[in-house]
Amino acid sequence: MKRQIRVWMKQTSLLLLLGAVLSFCRAQSQMDGEETGVDEEHVELFTTPTTKMAAATSDFGYNLFRVLASREASSNIFLAPISVSAVLTQLSLGTSESAERQLFRALRYHTLQDPALHTTLKDLLASVRTPGKGLSTAQRIYLARRLRLKQDFFTLVEQRYGVRPKALLGGSKDVKEINDWVSQETGGTVQRFLSKPLPRNAGVNAVSAAHFKGKWVIRLSQTGELGTFQVDGGTPVRIPIMQQDNYPVKMGADSDLGCMITQIQMQDDISMFIFLPDEVTTNMTLLEDSLTAEFVQDLSMTLLPAHVSLTMPVLKFSYSTNLLPLLGNAGFADWLQNTGLEKISAQPAVLSSVSHKVVMETAPEGNEYASATSPSGHLSYSVNRPFLFLIRDEVSGALLVIGRVTNPKDLAV
């Protein structure tokens, strides 16, 4: 609460400095609300089993993102954490009790005290994958046939998550098998999930993939002109941009983190949060370190409505990585020492890959147009240098996609 108010005051002065004409009455009532606890029900989003689960998958996601961010110090990186949570939770159905405890701790489930954890996760996944939200995901466990697999595990995962783990034959057909399934499951939006064969002697493989194409509530326009994007320590690049004057956003500044934060509304209660550092830098360690489900929720309560002249890159990318080497630093070290996958196979089953792919597009389309008459001055918000963004489901608070864009020119499709 303390931080919230502090951030609020700072951003107010900054917005005033920038010349935003904010409704003072609105700001005043918001502040009164904080003092009297009227906003309490918003601040306390994470109270139901589903929203607590959303917070857990988000916090796991932020942890994993930090590890990825420090490994890939200055490049573009992306994750769809809820999909990774989902596949690792499927895997937990094959572990011993003590291994499950360690795995659940790393997945941030240990505080949930939810006896129906799998049902809650399944419900959360279903709610964030309703078609209007623009997210599709695919999660499945692939197992080497030679492991003498236990059919009970297949049945249990299928009962809980509606997807049956699959035995692999070994060899090049496996890649096609996996890629075809991911493509089918995501409506053709995630192609070429694996670009090379699984490691030799692959045992247990966790596959997670996500595609996100959200629609803005209010459309942006793409003029076809290129905009300039500053690159840390390099020559600025020219990239396709989307632009709209008089665009309603929520925004604020956090001078501790040295960034401006903007929340842009998408359809079906999805939001994009953009964290734009004041400086041209790829070092966002301070910001990355502060990200938690609670922090983002508090932040969303403190951002203030404003109309801006908005300019942002047209994002279109796909990003693949094997997350297994990152897990040790993301809270899974204990579990990795002994994964206890004893309900999967009579033989010792080794986790050999945790492959992840995320594909995302931002297009200018939206159902509504920005109003022509500007209520404010000439505040502009230009995403023209390295930034970090989140895609969040506002109903549950679940983090769907997180990314750091350091050079849009390097994005692969």
Ligand X SMILES: *[C@@H]1O[C@H](CO)[C@@H](O)[C@H](O)[C@H]1NC(C)=O
Half-sphere exposure at residue 107, Cβ-oriented, CA atoms within 13 angstroms: 28
Q: Does 286 bind ligand X (CB under 6 A)?
A: yes
**CA distance linking residue 113 with residue 362, whole number of Å:** 37
Question: Are the CB atoms for 361 and 315 separated by under 8 Å?
Answer: yes
What pairing do the DSSP bridges indicate for beta strands 380-382 and 304-313?
Answer: parallel
Tokens of 410: 């390097």
Q: How far is the CB of 76 from ligand X (least distance, A)?
A: 17
- 247 by Cβ neighbours in 10 Å (0-12 / 13-18 / 19+) ranks as buried
Q: How far is the CB of 9 from ligand X (least distance, A)?
A: 23
**CA distance linking residue 137 with residue 207, whole number of Å:** 10
Nearer to ligand X, 258 or 305 (CB): 258
Q: How far is the CB of 70 from ligand X (least distance, A)?
A: 9
Tokens of 58: 């988000």
DSSP-derived 3-state class of residue 277: strand
Nearer to ligand X, 108 or 385 (CB): 385
Nearer to ligand X, 131 or 233 (CB): 233
Please tell me the count of residues contacting ligand X according to CB under 6 A.
Answer: 3
Residues pairing with 61 in the sheet: none
Nearer to ligand X, 155 or 285 (CB): 285
**CA distance linking residue 334 with residue 408, whole number of Å:** 37
> Residue 335 carries which side chain, given as an amino acid letter?
W
Q: How far is the CB of 285 from ligand X (least distance, A)?
A: 4
Nearer to ligand X, 70 or 159 (CB): 70
Which residues in the 37-56 window bind ligand X by CB under 6 A? none
Q: Which residue is nearest to ligand X (CB)?
A: 283
Question: Are the CB atoms for 384 and 228 separated by under 8 Å?
Answer: yes
Q: Which of 4, 283, 292, 374 binds ligand X (CB under 6 A)?
A: 283
Q: Does 380 bind ligand X (CB under 6 A)?
A: no
Nearer to ligand X, 69 or 178 (CB): 69
Nearer to ligand X, 232 or 245 (CB): 232
Which listed range, 191-199, 238-246, 280-288, 306-314, lies at the site for ligand X (CB under 6 A)? 280-288
Q: Which of 285, 337, 338, 371 binds ligand X (CB under 6 A)?
A: 285
> Residue 128 carries which side chain, given as an amino acid letter?
V
Q: Does 256 bind ligand X (CB under 6 A)?
A: no
Question: Are the CB atoms for 141 and 153 separated by under 8 Å?
Answer: no
Query: Which residues of this chain interact with ligand X, rule CB under 6 A?
Result: 283, 285-286
